[in-house]
Structures are given as structure tokens and as C-alpha cells.
Structure 1
Amino acid sequence: MRHAIATAGLTIGLCALVLQFGMTVAAGPTLGAAAAQFFGSFNNLASILTVLIFAADIFARSRWLRGFRQPWVYATMAAAGTLTIGIYLLVLAPQWQAHGGQLVADITLHLVLPPLLIVWSVGFNRSGTLTYAELPLMLAPSVLFVIYTMGRGLMFGQYPYAFADIPMLGPAQVTINMTALLVVQTVLNAFAVTIDKSILASKIQHDPERSPDR
């Protein structure tokens, strides 16, 4: 089942990303502008990492993908996927009027791919090795994206999300919005660590010799 989910996630995610990139290129004035818009989306970047995580599981002997097999990596992306689902359902979907291929890509990348990673991570890949000391490392990708988004917006006037649009909302409100998202991401990361640690507690309960006190 684990590899079946990974295979489905890799196939579905890759197809949806190709579809999304193709539509972005078709709508963009230039290839460079389209690429900047595509890679400026948190969900697109998260989806790319998710696909690589699934690929790392399928191609287990690949040394090029071993970094994506680290527990903190897929736990972080599972938490980010949870945030993605929430933002899409509560904020983005009511504002967007997507149709055709764009609707397919939106639903697949926001509501299909993230749950597959969550099920894959929680159901089959809890390592019992994550610690709360890794929370800063797990938050780093989100912090880097915020810095990139704000820098790109200030330089080129392009903001991927309305809640990050400084000219429209003002610096103070955008700061509040982005801080709130980072706080939520931190809470979700901590929850992911707690879930991962629960398997270690279960192992210790059934096998006291595993206890770190021994």
C-alpha cells in the first residue's frame, strides 16, 4: 500500500504540475515571466517537493534522492500540505473561478496530492526519530518562501496571493498575515513531530528495552 500511494502520488502530482506549468506558460507574456509566476507559488513548490519525496520512496536506491527520505523533510511537507488544504478551502477557492484544466490542476495540487502525502507519512513512514529540536529546521522552508515572496514583490510588484499584497493591504497587515501563517505552520510541524514520536512511545510500551533511560 505504501508504494501504491507513492506511485499514485508521483504520477498524479507530476501530471498536474506539467499541466499547471503548461497553462502558466501559455498565459504568460514570456517564458521567464511564466517560470517566475509558477515557481512563485508556495503550492507549486510544495507539490514539486512532494513529488520528489514520492520518487525517493519508489527509487529507494537513488543517492540523488536520499535527502528527500529524511523524516523531517516529509513530515514538514505533510504539515505544509495540511496548511495548503486549509488556505485553499478557506481563502483561495471562494475567490477563484477556475474552469477546465485550471480547475483540474487546482483540485489535484491542493486537495488530492497533499492528502496522499499525509496518509503516506502518517500511515506508513513514522520513524519515531523526530524531535522538537528540529522545529526550526522544519520551519526554515516557509521562512525562506516568505522572504522570497516579499523580496520579489518589492522588486517587481508581483505578489502570488492577495493576503501577501503589500500595495493592496499595507505592510502592517501583510506582516500580520505572514506571521500568522508561520505560527500555524509551526503548530502543524509540532503536531507532526508529536505524531511521529507517538510510534516511539508505542514501541517502548511494547518493548521496554527500547526505552532511552536504559
Structure 2
Amino acid sequence: MHSPLPTRPLHLFVTCAAWAAWLALAVQLLLILQARLADQASLVGGVLHFFGYFTILTNTLVAAVLTAAARHKGAGAHSFWLRPWVSSGVTASIILVGMAYSLLLRDTWNPQGVQWVVNELLHDIMPPVFVVFWWWCVPKGTLQVRHVVAWSVYPVAYFGYCLLRGNAIGVYPYPFIDVGTLGYGRVLVNALVILLGFVIISLVLVGLDRWQGKRQRQATD
């Protein structure tokens, strides 16, 4: 169903990208746990805090897709990640991560040292890297507008989780969905604007998929 990556350099690129994604995630988790230890706080709470970020969840999906592709698995447990509609949905999500960080979060903090490196990997490097992977490695011509609806379940479910968790413990992962500071009305508007951005990104990917798929079919006729 899925063929191996077309060239050795491209395979090396995907393999290195997979390692970089997992390394960034591992170091970020380590930094959080170190901070929790310094504050004598729960390590379990640190892990929950780590997975409470859309950035972390999405980069984990990115790492899973890249790992499956690097291992040349077209069947079995990894085939799910290599389905075009799945990897394309992950592409839309990681683009949203990069854009949201640049537009809404970059000026809200000033990471230093190792944290700066990890931050760059998760927000600025992995999004374009994964777009390159999507363009060159994901089969084109199969996406439909209905897939955008399926992809949207992920950010919507995440937003619902953030509201429930924030209501329970009073902590929100991002300032633009902080109900305690902004109120539900403003947070809902922010979420709808972000969701609209996600839908636009997704529709662009569907359009590019159809265009590239048509080109490929014409080239083989």
C-alpha cells in the first residue's frame, strides 16, 4: 500500500527528522521534571503537565509518523500513520503549532540555553520539516474536504479537555484560553478564530493534494 521512500537522501532526512522530534520531546520532558524536582512537586503532575500542551501532543504525532516512514512500514501496526489522510491531518496540526506560536506566544517568554534549542525544534523547525516530508513522501490525490471535518476533531477535543482541566485545577496551558483571566466569552472567540485558521490550513492542504495528485496522474498517462 505504501512504498519505501524514493531516495536514500530522503530516507536519511526522514530518519534524522524522526530522531530530532523524539529528542526534542525527551529533553523537554526532562526539563519539566527537573523543574518539578527543584520545586519538590509531583513528577506525575509534571508528566501530565507535559502532555497538556497541544505542541507536545502534535509533535508526538509528528514523531510517530516520521518513525513509521523511516522504518518503511506499509502494513501492520504502523500503516495507520502512513495513510495519507492521517499524515495530512498531522501536517495541518503541526502547521497550526508553528503559526500559533509565532503569532500568539513568541513574545510571551524568553527561553534560554537548552530550553531555547528545544523550543526552536518544537515550534520553528519541526513544522517546516514535516511539511517537506508531507510534500515529498505522502501519496497525493486522495484527500477530500470531508477529511477536514475529521482532522478538526483533534483541536476541538483538545480545547474541550483544556476547559475541563482548567475548571478542575485552575491552570490553562496557553494564555489565549485562560478562562480565569479572559472569561469564557473571549476564550470561545479565540478558540473559534484558531479553529478557523486550522480549517483554512486544512483546505489549503486538500487543494495542494488534489493539484499534485492531478499532476502525477498526468505525468504517468
Q: Do they fold alike, i.e. is TM over 0.5?
A: yes
Is the deviation greater in 54-63 or in 180-189?
Answer: 54-63
Q: Distance in 2 between matches of 1:83 and 1:135?
A: 14
Residue identity matched to 1:13: A
Q: How does 1:114-129 map to 2 (within 5 A)?
A: 114-129=127-142
Shift, 1:104, TM fit:
1.0
Asked if 2 retains the 8 angstrom alpha-carbon contact of 1:78 and 1:117, the reply is: yes
Residue in structure 2 matched with residue 201 of structure 1 by the alignment: 214
Residue in structure 2 matched with residue 184 of structure 1 by the alignment: 197
Residue in structure 2 matched with residue 130 of structure 1 by the alignment: 143
Structure 1: state its 5+ residue gaps: 209-214
For the aligned residue pairs, the C-alpha RMSD in angstroms reads 1.4
Residue in structure 2 matched with residue 33 of structure 1 by the alignment: 45
What TM-score results when the alignment is normalised by the length of structure 1?
A: 0.92
Shift, 1:7, TM fit:
0.7
Deviations 1:145-187 (A, max 9, x none): 1111111111111100000100101110000001111111011
Secondary structure at the aligned position of 1:21 is classed as helix
Is the deviation greater in 3-12 or in 155-164?
Answer: 3-12
Q: How does 1:32-71 map to 2 (within 5 A)?
A: 32-61=44-73, 63-71=76-84
Q: How does 1:22-171 map to 2 (within 5 A)?
A: 22-28=30-36, 29-61=41-73, 63-171=76-184
What TM-score results when the alignment is normalised by the length of structure 2?
A: 0.89
Shift, 1:39, TM fit:
0.3
Secondary structure at the aligned position of 2:166 is classed as helix
2:24 to 7, 16, 22: 16
Secondary structure at the aligned position of 2:77 is classed as coil
Q: Distance in 1 between matches of 2:194 and 2:80?
A: 26
Q: Distance in 2 between matches of 1:110 and 1:116?
A: 11
Shift, 1:82, TM fit:
1.6
Residue identity matched to 2:184: P
Aligned length: 208
Residue identity matched to 2:178: D
Q: Distance in 1 between matches of 2:59 and 2:192?
A: 22
State the identity %.
25
Asked if 2 retains the 8 angstrom alpha-carbon contact of 1:5 and 1:116, the reply is: no
Structure 2: state its 5+ residue gaps: 1-8
Q: Distance in 2 between matches of 1:122 and 1:150?
A: 35
Asked if 2 retains the 8 angstrom alpha-carbon contact of 1:135 and 1:189, the reply is: yes
Asked if 2 retains the 8 angstrom alpha-carbon contact of 1:24 and 1:34, the reply is: yes
Residue in structure 2 matched with residue 212 of structure 1 by the alignment: none
Shift, 1:2, TM fit:
2.8
Deviations 1:32-55 (A, max 9, x none): 110111000000001100000001
